[in-house]
Amino acid sequence: MKKALWIFPWVVLLVPFVVLSLFYDSISQEILTYRSLGGNEIQYAPKSLFTVFRVPLIEAVCAATIVIMRRKTSEFNSEFRTGYYSMWSVLLFTVALKSLFQTFEFVSTSIFSQPFYASVFFYATLAIVVGGIILAFVKGKKIFANFQSESWRLKNWEKISLTIFFLIYLSLAFAPMLIYS
């Protein structure tokens, strides 16, 4: 059962890549790359492998970051270990499901021109993110209540990996704003 829980989010994270690959030729020639929170500022970019697969790549980077942080469970005493692992696992599932529903929203809009389904997937994505963050907070509340900074020290390889993932994330997230503006 534990192995299935470890594999499931990665399978879900692969689905957007498969779906987008299958429908790549049908995707519109302009891809939404930025929308402000109010929705009044919108930026489009020409269809390319980068613009089509950018969001699932961002989610994969976030998932890899979560896995590195989740590995630190051995550094906590047993009282915190379960909550810590559960907290990061909830966030991993949240990222996976967010990626899946964002892909369904994208496909609904770009390929099938179904704004109703796109709206359903948008709100489902929002519910998953909010619910996942709340559940992660509930699972990790003992850790936050009794924060011990010495337990959170990162090894050098973790620092380097997290820095690389952060730089990749920034590049994927903000490159379209710089390239296509």
Every domain of the chain and the residues it spans: 53-179
Percent of the chain with pLDDT over 90: 50
Mean pLDDT of 89-97: 95
pLDDT digits (tens, 9 = 90+) for 131-145: 999 999 998 887 766
The pLDDT of residue 150 is 55
pLDDT digits (tens, 9 = 90+) for 107-131: 888 887 878 888 899 899 999 999 9
SS3 for the chain is CHHHHHHHHHHHHHHHHHHHHHCHHHCCCEEEEEECCCCCCEEEEECCHHHHHHHHHHHHHHHHHHHHHHHHHHHCCHHHHHHHHHHHHHHHHHHHHHHHHHHHHHHHHHCCCCHHHHHHHHHHHHHHHHHHHHHHHHHCHHHHHCCCHHHHCCCHHHHHHHHHHHHHHHHHHHHHHHHCC
pLDDT digits (tens, 9 = 90+) for 160-169: 999 999 999 9
